[in-house]
């Protein structure tokens, strides 16, 4: 007899069943399944039969056994193959044929699930079902839908310390062998030990199981305990569970392997919110702006787009829509297209536009389809002044990947999309914070639909943490005669060409590529990677250099080291500048440095394969975005980067991979401050900077500046029978002659006047280019930009004798190489006497040293400059006074040392702030404050009122926030909802008065609380 003073695993099991019963599931103990013919049977055929008769009442009764057999007896040699085949039967149904002797055969399309009416299905939960297979096993809980065993729960006692979720996972994996027939039907499995609850595919490594952290998709549950409550209430509501099984599970098939993938909670909710916004935007009265999904890099954004497109293409309300997936680079187009091809079991066949003409033909097709294209395929053809309309359908949805990069130039391809598809609706998917781009993202796409930032991704183990190390390779000038040696190469101190070369060789990229430094860099990287390989033998690394020359120099030095692992260079080629040897096959490699597309793909496959001997790649720009190789663990940075580009680069090492505890950045060039600034932006939950500039005022300025530029062009220069906006419709020769005439006109004396007027026009155009009225004159704006470019080229030529130029470059490089010495690589943490902490770049302690900068609305700043006439043209001064080469080199070396050494300050901040951070966190936990309540608490605390103790302030905040939320409604902060705002004010004031807040404090606190609520909850309920 059990001791009832203790709790057991069965108690946890019974509680879990109770939670499912609360959602309307019927509980049937295993011993009550009396009609089971054999212990090997796992399908409740009587339940399935009842569902089929109820749903298809005209189906002939005598054929029911054959129908059930066709549904449940699926083909496949392995359990994984049978599971895939059954998932297809489950989600797409089957066609059942009844042969007739004297009549046409009858066909019934049968679905084992009533997807359209979730509550018409039969939901049963059963525990401790004995199953005979290769061995006898009793799974803890099985969820049946219409008699089919679709979900398995394996639980471990929360009340025994040495039973863990890993034990539950191991048990499920063993079940796939011991009672394999159960997994013919399994949609997904749940494992839990009470504190950790995960869901995932039973055939996947545990690293790909995930927690479900939200019930409503708005509030995130980052509490550690009782996650099974969040999972069941957030995923197992009947309609939600069916939605997940049908739309958010996909078998990815790359031709070699098949992998079953299920959505994580942020993908499920983000995509469902996006679907609802799509239905709103595409209505006849919709605004065609669906919104923006910001899901950080590495968190499955491409798969989210796959789920989203899969739902759209089948949605009855959209009436067979066309989905256009548009990217800004061909390599990303291919990568995303390949992802959709691998997921064809969910979305069907997709099409990729081969050319602009092919794209036009595809878009003229009225039937629903998924089309991939690069944005440049929306280009104009010869003699086209504007892009032709390709389709006026309202059920076309354009998905822009990385929405911040290419969507703002309405004079270019982005404008052509809107002209070609005037009634299409637009949505942006991005891994970049919307306000990070500094662009009019919301005006192009609409509001932010859903946010999943980098901090939450690491918290959820959707990505791995990234750690930071700093190295300094010291440099110094050892040649006292460098200036005189360089003077001997030239013919005059003021010569522009010689000055250009001096400045180039004094620049950081050249300095970083000096021979001794590259030798030290190669040795440090090889030693560091070799040391890590002993611990993580399957890890790979990427090295980022400043220039292609530096890439090659580093490659050569690394290959000279006896312990260097296999390494390749991935970089673009320039047929007019590349040395011949870059295109020759390298010794010890199958490739040259400049690789064909097919060779790049082969190297990519090697880097992704943990068993392949290739361990390192050296890059400059390629593969820093849109490239995914899960074994990549180490990023060696020898190139200054910042902002979006930096975060894209470090995300190369944040992918989850079995055994990978985190990614590591090894910084040789001093990116610590930039990393902190960018990371802060990426963890700021969508950005809080309000964009408040006056769009009408900006538009008025634009039209004024446009008229100013027009007034500078005489009427006799206008193209025949065309406006200036239609110049692109001219035949090629006439078009070129027309531009030349305009340029020549301004070279006659009004060049400066035109350039100053044009730059104001261009700046103002950036503010209003998304407006339809401005889009109509985009061609004219482009004309003035071309004229400006040609005037600049003529007045400020870039010239020089190519051969002499090259000789001088080589000799100068030789002198600098011999004059700059390296003094070894230093570990700055070690030098500073700081113990190397195991701390992520997302840790608050890392970010603590960052000096907060006020949010600057760049558009507002630009508008102010235009209004105050501060936009001027800067003309290049000729023959600047030449600086001594030694002076320039010393300055660059000093800046190089300072930027790298400053990285050590980052670690000092980590150590100094850790205790304060932990203390503050503990204080907030003790007071029971949620993340959204902290800001309200600080308002009271900053009053420094000695009569308020901490607990009183915390209780007051709880009450205020709770009472405000009762009054919030959609758009409650907008001017037309003053009635709601008044109710919120009254709720705050009533709560404060109830708690006896004094009259002199009442007004201040009421206003402060409401203003904070406006900031936090302006997009209620999305930003609840």
Report pLDDT for 91: 96
In whole angstroms, give the CA distance from residue 587 to residue 608: 23
Burial class (CB in 10 A: 0-12, 13-18, 19+), 851: exposed
Residue partners of 90: CB distance under 8 A and separation at least 6: 112, 113, 148, 150, 187, 245
DSSP lists the bridge partners of residue 617 as 542, 568
Look at residue 94 and give its three-state secondary structure: strand
Look at residue 95 and give its three-state secondary structure: strand
In whole angstroms, give the CA distance from residue 525 to residue 105: 71
Report pLDDT for 176: 96
Look at residue 80 and give its three-state secondary structure: helix
Both structure tokens of 821: 């010495």
In whole angstroms, give the CA distance from residue 904 to residue 908: 7
Residues of the chain with pLDDT under 50: 1, 404-405, 408-411, 436-439, 491-494, 502, 504-506, 685-693, 798-803, 834-839, 849-856, 876-882, 904, 906-915
Report pLDDT for 802: 47
In whole angstroms, give the CA distance from residue 479 to residue 553: 22
In whole angstroms, give the CA distance from residue 299 to residue 290: 21
Report pLDDT for 799: 47
Report pLDDT for 685: 44
pLDDT in tens, 80-132: 999 999 999 999 999 998 887 777 888 899 999 999 999 999 999 999 999 99
Closest listed residue to residue 532, CA positions, set 637, 661, 649, 669: 661
Peptide bond into 1021 cis (omega under 30): yes
386 neighbors 418 (Cβ within 8 angstroms): no
Look at residue 123 and give its three-state secondary structure: strand
In whole angstroms, give the CA distance from residue 920 to residue 922: 5
DSSP string for 401-437: ESTTSSSS-TTTHHHHHHHHSTT-EEEEEESS-GGGT
Q: Which residue has the tokens 């979305």?
A: 347
Predicted model pTM:
0.68
Q: How far is CA 731 from CA 376, 736, 741, in A?
A: 21, 9, 15
Q: Determine phi and psi for 399, rounding to 5 degrees.
A: -105, 120
Report pLDDT for 976: 77
Residue partners of 83: CB distance under 8 A and separation at least 6: 76, 183, 184, 185, 186, 203, 260
Strands in 743-868 per DSSP E: 820-827
Between CA 889 and CA 894, with CA 892 as vertex, the angle to 5 degrees is 110
């Amino acid at each position: 007899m059990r001791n009832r003073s203790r709790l057991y695993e069965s108690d946890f099991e019974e509680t879990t069943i109770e939670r499912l019963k609360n959602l309307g599931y019927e509980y049937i103990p295993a011993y009550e399944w009396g009609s089971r013919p054999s212990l090997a049977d796992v399908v409740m055929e009587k339940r399935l039969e009842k569902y089929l008769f109820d749903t298809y009442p005209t189906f002939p009764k005598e054929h029911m056994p054959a129908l059930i057999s066709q549904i449940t007896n699926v083909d496949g040699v392995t359990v994984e193959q049978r599971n895939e085949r059954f998932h297809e039967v489950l989600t797409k149904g089957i066609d059942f044929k009844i042969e007739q002797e004297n009549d046409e055969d009858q066909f019934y399309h049968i679905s084992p699930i009533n997807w359209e009416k979730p509550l018409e299905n039969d939901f049963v939960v059963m525990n401790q079902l004995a199953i005979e297979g290769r061995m006898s096993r009793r799974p803890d809980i099985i969820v049946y839908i219409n008699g089919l065993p679709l979900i398995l729960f394996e639980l471990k006692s929360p009340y025994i310390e040495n039973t863990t979720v890993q034990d539950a996972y191991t048990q499920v994996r063993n079940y796939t062998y011991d009672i394999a027939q159960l997994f013919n039907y399994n949609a997904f499995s749940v494992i839990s030990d009470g504190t950790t609850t995960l869901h995932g595919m039973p055939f996947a490594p545990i690293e790909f199981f995930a927690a479900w952290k939200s019930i409503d998709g708005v509030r995130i549950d980052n509490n550690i305990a009782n996650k099974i409550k969040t999972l069941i209430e957030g995923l197992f509501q009947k309609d939600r569970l069916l939605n997940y099984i049908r739309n958010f599970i996909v078998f990815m098939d790359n031709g070699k392997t098949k992998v079953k993938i299920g959505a994580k909670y942020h993908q499920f909710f983000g995509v469902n919110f996006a679907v609802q916004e799509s239905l709103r935007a595409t209505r006849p009265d919709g605004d065609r702006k669906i919104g923006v999904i910001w899901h950080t890099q590495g968190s499955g954004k491409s798969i989210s787009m796959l789920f989203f497109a899969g739902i759209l293409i089948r949605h009855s309300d959209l009436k067979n829509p066309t989905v256009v997936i548009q990217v800004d680079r061909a390599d990303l187009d291919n990568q995303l297209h390949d992802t959709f091809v691998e997921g064809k079991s969910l979305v069907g066949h997709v099409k990729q536009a081969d050319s602009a003409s092919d794209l036009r033909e595809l878009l003229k097709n009225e039937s629903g389809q998924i089309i991939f294209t690069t944005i440049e395929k929306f280009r104009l053809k010869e003699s086209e002044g504007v892009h032709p309309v390709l389709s006026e359908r309202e059920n076309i949805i354009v998905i822009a990947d990385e929405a911040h990069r290419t969507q703002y130039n309405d004079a270019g391809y982005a404008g052509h999309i809107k002209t070609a598809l005037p009634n299409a609706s637009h949505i942006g998917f991005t891994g970049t914070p919307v306000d990070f781009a500094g662009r009019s993202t919301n005006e192009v796409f609409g509001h932010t639909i859903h946010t999943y930032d980098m901090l939450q991704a690491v918290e959820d183990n959707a990505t791995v943490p990234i750690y930071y190390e700093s190295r300094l390779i010291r440099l110094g000038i050892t040649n006292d005669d460098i200036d005189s040696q360089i003077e001997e190469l030239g013919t005059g101190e003021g010569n522009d060409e010689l000055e250009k070369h001096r400045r180039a060789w004094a620049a950081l990229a050249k300095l970083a590529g000096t021979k001794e430094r590259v030798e030290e860099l190669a040795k440090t990287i090889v030693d560091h990677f070799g040391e890590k390989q002993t611990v993580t033998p399957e890890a790979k690394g990427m090295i980022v250099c400043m220039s292609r020359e530096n890439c090659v120099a580093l490659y050569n030095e690394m290959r000279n080291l006896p312990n260097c692992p296999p390494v390749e260079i991935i970089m673009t080629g320039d047929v007019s500048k590349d040395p011949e040897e870059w295109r020759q096959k390298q010794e010890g490699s199958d490739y040259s440095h400049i690789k064909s597309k097919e060779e790049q793909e082969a190297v990519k496959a090697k880097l992704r394969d943990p068993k392949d001997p290739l361990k390192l790649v050296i890059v400059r720009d390629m593969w820093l975005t849109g490239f995914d190789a899960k074994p990549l663990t180490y990023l060696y940075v020898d190139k200054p980067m910042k902002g979006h580009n930096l975060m894209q680069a470090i995300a190369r090492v944040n992918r989850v991979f079995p055994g990978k505890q985190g990614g590591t950045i090894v910084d040789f060039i001093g990116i610590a401050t930039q990393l902190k600034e960018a990371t802060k932006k990426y963890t700021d939950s969508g950005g809080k900077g309000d964009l408040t500039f006056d769009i009408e005022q900006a538009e008025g300025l634009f039209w004024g500046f446009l008229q100013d530029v027009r007034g500078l062009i005489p009427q006799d220069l206008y193209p025949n029978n065309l406006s200036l906006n239609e110049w692109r419709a001219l035949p090629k020769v006439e078009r070129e002659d027309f531009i030349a005439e305009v340029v020549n006109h301004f070279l006659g004396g009004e060049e400066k006047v035109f350039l100053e007027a044009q730059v104001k026009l261009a700046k103002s155009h950036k503010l209003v280019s998304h407006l339809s009225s401005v889009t109509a004159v985009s061609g004219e704006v482009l004309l003035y930009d071309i004229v400006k470019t040609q005037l600049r080229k003529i007045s400020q030529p870039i010239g020089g004798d190519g051969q002499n130029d090259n000789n001088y470059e080589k000799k100068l490089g030789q002198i600098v190489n011999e004059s700059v010495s390296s003094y070894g690589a230093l570990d700055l943490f070690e030098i500073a006497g700081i113990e190397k902490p195991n701390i992520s770049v997302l840790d608050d302690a890392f970010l603590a040293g960052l000096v907060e900068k006020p949010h600057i609305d760049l558009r507002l700043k630009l508008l102010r400059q235009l209004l105050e006439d501060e936009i001027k043209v800067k003309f290049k001064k000729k023959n600047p006074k030449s600086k001594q080469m030694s002076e320039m080199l010393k300055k660059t070396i000093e800046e190089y040392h300072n930027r790298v050494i400053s990285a050590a300050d980052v670690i000092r901040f980590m150590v100094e702030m850790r205790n304060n951070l932990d203390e503050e966190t503990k204080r907030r936990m003790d007071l029971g404050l949620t993340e959204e309540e902290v800001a309200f608490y600080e308002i009271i605390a900053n009053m420094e009122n000695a009569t308020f103790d901490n607990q009183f302030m915390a209780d007051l905040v709880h009450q205020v926030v709770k009472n405000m939320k009762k009054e919030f409604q959609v758009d409650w902060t907008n001017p037309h909802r003053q009635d709601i705002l008044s109710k919120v004010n009254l709720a705050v004031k009533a709560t404060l008065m109830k708690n006896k807040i004094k009259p002199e404090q009442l007004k201040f606190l009421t206003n402060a609380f409401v203003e904070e609520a406006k900031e936090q909850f302006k997009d209620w309920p999305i930003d609840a």
